[in-house]
Amino acid sequence: MKLLVVRKSLALGILMAGLLVASLGAPSPAYAQKKAPPKPHVVQKFRIQIRHPRPVLHHVPSSEAAHRLAHHLNRQGWITHIKRDHKGHVVVAKMPRWRNQSIAHNRGAAAGVAHLLRSQGFEVRIIPFH
């Protein structure tokens, strides 16, 4: 009988000690901080724009070749003028305004494309958008 009483009192003591430790370690509900709700995942894209404000001269031998080259450059967004030279014809091409060249889905890919375009002589800017 004494053994049963000792076991029950020991179990009750361990239970009370656990509750006391738990109540001391946990903050009271009045001071508990609420977690912020999770933010929605926003996909951010990057627009890569180029321009080439300095004129580029293309020397071509004939008028027909000059018109074909001017037409091809106009379709790519260049402004062209055809001039007559002592060697033949010259197509003067400029791209003074920013043109959308590409869209990338992360900053690293946008930086890689921008590096490639800068190596080709273009001015490049990267614009983030949603």
Average pLDDT per consecutive 10 residues, the chain (130 residues; last block may be shorter): 60 60 57 76 89 92 95 94 91 94 93 95 92
pLDDT at res. 74: 95
- Structural contact between residues 90 and 82, judged by C-beta atoms closer than 8 angstroms: yes
CB count, 10 Å around CB of 63? 12
pLDDT for position 7: 66
Tell me the pTM: 0.60
> Hey, what amino acid is at 26?
A
d(CA 122, CA 50): 6
Please report the pLDDT score of residue 17 as a whole number. Answer: 61
pLDDT of residue 32: 62
Burial zone of 46 (CB within 10 Å; 0-12 exposed, 13-18 middle, 19+ buried): buried
Q: Tell me, what's the pLDDT at 116?
A: 96
| pLDDT given at position 39 | 80
Say how far apart CA 17 and CA 6 lie, in whole Å: 16
pLDDT of residue 22: 54
Going from the N-terminus, what domains does the chain have, and what CATH number goes with each? 45-129 (3.30.70)
- Judged by phi (left if over 0) then psi (alpha if -120 to 50, else beta), residue 77 lies in left
* Half-sphere exposure in the Cβ direction for 39 (13 Å, CA): 3
